A and B are shown apart, each in its own frame.
Chain A
Amino acid sequence: MSLTVLYFAWLRERIGESEERVETSAATVADLVAELREREPRYALAFSDMRAVRVAVDQELADLAAPLAGAREVAFFPPMTGG
């Protein structure tokens, strides 16, 4: 499947892109992270500590175990600092 993957804040800076299309057969967010880590050191660096990373699937907060079947957009970002 083809996913739009978005990165925000320091994840965007470490990976060097804000958005990309990713062809993947990952079943879950954790599988997608594992695939991305294998690609290049910048991904491995950005995803080195997943406790510092939050994820949204189709604009809803999700966790690493969230399934990707039918998903269109996955976003990775640090804990939010609104307000």
Chain B
Amino acid sequence: MSVRVQAEDFDLGAELAALRAGRTDIGALVSFTGLVRDVTAGAGAISALELEHYPAMTLRALGAIEAEAAARWPLRASLIIHRHGLLHPGDQIMMVATASESRAAAFAAAEFLMDYLKSRAPFWKKETRPDGAHWVAARDEDEAALAAWDR
């Protein structure tokens, strides 16, 4: 179980290899990678994405989210990496990886982590588009996805 917040990029393959290194009890390893895309519905091309965060709260919030996932599913290992700072289209923003004995728990936990990160990790995104820089609004669907885990 591990959480990292960093400006630097990460090597997805190396992170997944490290997560399972020396382990023979993992039957399923799921990963999700979030990338900067250059399009946003109807608003023109994105040339840059600035990620601001609340350092004193970020690690604590991510750690709490990861602990909640570990309490709900029998995970053998997990990893969250989230970047901050100035990113560009094609760059990696963040990743989650979940490992368990079989795939159902790993898939579900990865989706749970993503749903929580979207609305409960203290990051804010600002997109640069042809018409200027704009803070990305939170989406109602993301809050609804979170609420669904409580049902």
Binding site for B on A (CB under 8 A): 6, 8-10, 12, 56, 59-61, 73, 75, 77-83
Contact = CB atoms under 8 A, between A and B. Distances in A.
Interface residues of B, number: 26
A83 B117 contact: yes
Contacts of A56: 54, 57, 122
B131 to A, nearest CB: 16
Contacts of A83: 34, 93-94, 114, 117-118, 121, 123
A81 B138 contact: yes
A79 B34 contact: no
A80 B138 contact: yes
A81 B57 contact: no
Interface of B: 34, 52, 54, 56-57, 60-61, 82, 93-94, 114, 117-126, 135-138, 143
Contacts, number: 67
A82 B135 contact: no
Given A8-B54, A9-B124, A9-B126, A79 B138 contact: yes
A6 B117 contact: no
B24 to A, nearest CB: 31
A8 B82 CA distance: 18
Given A80-B118, A81-B136, 6 more contacts: A59-B61, A73-B56, A80-B122, A80-B124, A82-B119, A83-B34
A78 B54 contact: no
A75 B61 CA distance: 14
B138 A59 contact: no
Contacts of B61: 59
Contacts of A80: 118-124, 138
